[in-house]
Structure 1
């Protein structure tokens, strides 16, 4: 049994230490907001945060996250930046099919926490590892820019 810190809570996970974090989240803990996409860390659907930085949970073994703070899309409801990003996602009608959106949001939140006023180039670079088959990239960029503006103004939710 391995103990992980997920969304501010201690969670027990069974299985070997080489199980990808994605499967521990989805199969053992029932946290299905984090999606399986490619299994090779190339599409971004499985993005979560480890100590605030975006990582790909499909290739990260649980042994690599023991003792680290993991945040998932489910944890964004109590994260101020996460709340703002999710609200502007809705306002900009970003989601189309929605499958990639949890990973997109997690990457956007990580970007805004490290770069509060990102340029278009910084947004494009940060988000380049997240694939959206529906092609909502212009709306994603607009939502991130709007979130940055709101956060800079001390957005109230």
Structure 2
């Protein structure tokens, strides 16, 4: 699923978020939270991490289409969050702006949290479900710098 809203600005600012998760219910919950608290109104949603990776690596003007924040699920079929992080690591330095990657997982395994922090561009590990205070903190942190 891809939405062209990734390249549009909103009255709230131009902080762009891309959510990557294979579970449609997670997308729905996230959308409802964003609507309720008026945050990340220009979020883009992907059910396949390869689609986001392709967008990041094939765009001519990556600064326009590159999100400010990526919310990444780890457990997805075929091409999972770990695959995405590994591939992103090889292109991350080519971005013209910082991209803040948050691992968003239902995993309670401390090894997953430690492994995700081994990637220098991973900002934090957030446990599911998304809580409004975490969403607000994320938005306020990145809307000010976007």
Range class of TM-score, shorter chain: under 0.3
TM-score by length of 1: 0.27
Larger Rg, first or second structure (1 or 2): 1
TM-score of the superposition, structure 2-length normalised?
A: 0.28
